[in-house]
Amino acid sequence: MKKIEPYLAIAMLLFAIGFNLWLYRVEPTAQVDPNDNTFQFALVYRTNQIWDFADKTCSGNILTFPICHFSYLADHWVPNWNEGYNLPFYYSHIPQIVIVGSWRLLSLFTIHYSLFTYYHFVIYLLLCLFPLSVFLALQVAGFPWLTSGFGALLASQISTDGLYGLDPASFLWRGYGLSSQLFAMVWLPLTLAYCHRALTIKRAIIPAIIFLILTTAGHLGIGMMTFLALIPLTLAAPILAFFQQQSLQKIFEPLKKNAVTLGIIAVVSIGFLSYWILPAMSLDRFHNFSFWDPVWKFNSYGVKEVITRLGNGALFDFGRLPILTGLILIGLFTIQYSQFAILFIFFILLYFGRTTWGNVLDVVPGMKEFHLSRFIVGVHAAGLFLAPVGLIWLWETITTAATKIILIPKKIISIIIFILIIVFIFPAIYGQTIRYATYNDTLIFQANTNYAKQAANANSLVSALQELEKTAPSRVFSGRGGGWGKNFLLAETTMTMYLGNFALPTVLWLPLCRHACKFGKNRYPAILEIDTKKSIMENL
């Protein structure tokens, strides 16, 4: 069995990736988005506009051009919503730059896709390749081959009722379109694994720094979680030494060593991203605060609710038996990989949020306005290290028990148990994922059909508004989110969000905009109002 374990593990990895490629194959065919992807693509579209602007504006000097070009791409005005906002200054912008840059590069080789299609194809690939990230992370962290293979099979199978974690619902069309989170998610397991490995192997420090930078550049919030994850990784060995009743020297020696190693990783990573992180943190008083978001996003759920959801499977197994939850809880008590158990407990404690801890977490820079409910990402990430450990423990325990009862060689029993796990446990887990994705395909086909009926008029409207922007710059009013605007739809997305995809400046979208609504027409006298009672073309 040992000789074929690497091949089995790689086969499981290839199956996990291939399954995702097949299951989500309809995802990049979407013609319009109903979720946060409208916002994300709008930033990509605006980045493409700024790329052209930078090309024309920056000096041709070979030394100054790259710096000038990047400065525009990393800090520019996004006029799309309300009265405009300098989003890249506060928000992740590297993913948008990479998407636009790679799209332009492919265009040089006569590979022509619309930016919209290419953006969705990138998201599709990242989502489908996530099992590879988990597999490699488990290998880097020193897990056996089969543990890594099981980790790949479980990587994309988390299921929640819209908790914004690492489950497919966070990224699919019928879900929430959190593609910015996806840009960080693919690096997160590797970051945790290399930071763990750097504690014992110094050459792992450099990849730990690289992946921490990539995680943070993909999504600042997840980057902040990852920096916080360095705390339990630092304390894991000392905590274990303490519970093993070892001497103070054996407790404090690893503490000092771990703190220095992970401190270097953190400081160097912050140094590379300081052009963005430090100004964003120091000038956060100018950062917009959303009145749309319910209070639970900021405060999370508290001890009782989190523990209840963990116990009933809602954090990992919504819509099915809590199998994945059970595997994680088994892995939680496996001594060999207890550092990841400590990491899991750490993120559970943070996930309790302000509901439990009050304002204690506000001492961490950036936490005052942070959605503490998003610590579910850390809970999920740590759980992905524990679930395959629990599955391996279950396999080995059943095999050992069966060997004592049945007079068959242990190798044969081990193979039989392995087959039973594949045949019975994984279909029970995969069923919910398949059901969610199947209905997702149905909704995409429906939306594409609806969009096809309106596409000609919508394209004419966008073209006309773009021409008006050149000759008579103005803002478009297509309804407020709290009023008729929420029902003014193009296929399954609001017209305001759709227009934002083309960097057309809209106004008065926030439901709480007393001053803007009161003085909006005085400040912006040229407001083009779209009437829902008329057809799209009649509005022109």
HEC readout, 61-93: CCCCHHHHHHHHHHCCCECCCCCCECHHHHCCC
Query: Residue 428's closest CA among 327, 323, 526, 335?
Result: 323
451: tokens are: 């969009």
Q: CA 74, CA 51: separation in Å to the nearest integer?
A: 10
pLDDT at position 505: 87
Do residues 67 and 178 share a domain? Answer: no
248: tokens are: 């103070």
Radius of gyration of the chain (CA): 25
What are the pLDDT digits (tens) for 95-119?
999 999 999 999 888 777 899 999 9
Tell me which DSSP letter residue 34 carries. S
Do residues 472 and 435 share a domain? Answer: no
Interior angle at CA 450, CA 447 and CA 455, nearest 5: 110
Q: Which residues contact 201 (CB under 8 A, 6 or more apart)?
A: none
Do residues 346 and 426 share a domain? Answer: yes
Q: CA 506, CA 84: separation in Å to the nearest integer?
A: 8
CB 501 within 8 A of CB 45: yes
What is the distance, to the nearest Å, from the Cα of residue 400 to the centroid of all Cα atoms in its chain? 40
CB atoms within 10 A of CB 110: 6
499: tokens are: 């227009």
- Looking at 98, 128, 158, the residue that finishes a domain is 128
- Looking at 93, 110, 128, the residue that finishes a domain is 128
- At 203, the amino acid letter reads R
pLDDT at position 294: 78
Do residues 427 and 468 share a domain? Answer: no
pLDDT at position 527: 47
Pairing of β 493-494 and β 489-490 = antiparallel
What are the pLDDT digits (tens) for 208-250?
999 999 999 999 999 999 999 999 999 888 887 777 777 777 7
pLDDT at position 292: 67
Residue where the block lists tokens 């060995």: 237
Residue numbers of the domain that contains 477: 457-529
3-state secondary structure of 305: helix
Q: What is the dihedral of CA 70, 47, 182, 22, to 10 degrees?
A: -130
Do residues 384 and 284 share a domain? Answer: yes
- Looking at 442, 466, 484, the residue that finishes a domain is 442
CB under 8 Å, gap of 24 or more: what pairs does 233-238 form? 233/192, 233/195, 233/196, 233/199, 233/258, 233/262, 233/339, 233/343, 234/258, 234/259, 234/262, 235/342, 236/338, 236/339, 236/342, 236/343, 237/199, 237/339
- 538 in a domain, yes or no? no
Q: CA 151, CA 132: separation in Å to the nearest integer?
A: 9
Do residues 241 and 309 share a domain? Answer: yes
Do residues 10 and 54 share a domain? Answer: no
Adjacent-strand bridge partners of 85: 78
Q: CA 182, CA 540: separation in Å to the nearest integer?
A: 38
pTM for this prediction:
0.91
Do residues 423 and 523 share a domain? Answer: no
- 452 in a domain, yes or no? no
- 537 in a domain, yes or no? no
Do residues 180 and 295 share a domain? Answer: yes
- 169 in a domain, yes or no? yes
- 327 in a domain, yes or no? yes
CB 447 within 8 A of CB 31: yes
CB 513 within 8 A of CB 94: no
**Would you say how long the chain is, in residues?**
540
- 53 in a domain, yes or no? yes
CB 474 within 8 A of CB 527: yes
Q: CA 46, CA 87: separation in Å to the nearest integer?
A: 11
Largest CA distance in the chain: 88
Q: In the 3-class helix/strand/coil scheme, how is 230-295 assigned residue by residue?
A: HHHHHHHHHHHHHHCCCCHHHHHHHHHHHHHHHHHHHHHHHHHHHHHHHHHHHCHHHCCCCCCCCH
Query: Residue 343's closest CA among 299, 351, 73?
Result: 351
Number of compact structural domains in the chain: 3
What are the pLDDT digits (tens) for 293-308?
778 888 899 999 999 9
- 451 in a domain, yes or no? no
Q: CA 192, CA 227: separation in Å to the nearest integer?
A: 10
- 535 in a domain, yes or no? no
Query: Residue 373's closest CA among 298, 292, 295, 309?
Result: 298
Query: Residue 506's closest CA among 482, 535, 479?
Result: 479
Structural element, H or E, at residue 410 = helix 410-420
pLDDT at position 516: 36
Do residues 88 and 220 share a domain? Answer: no
Report residues of the chain scoring pLDDT below 70.
1, 285-292, 335, 509-540
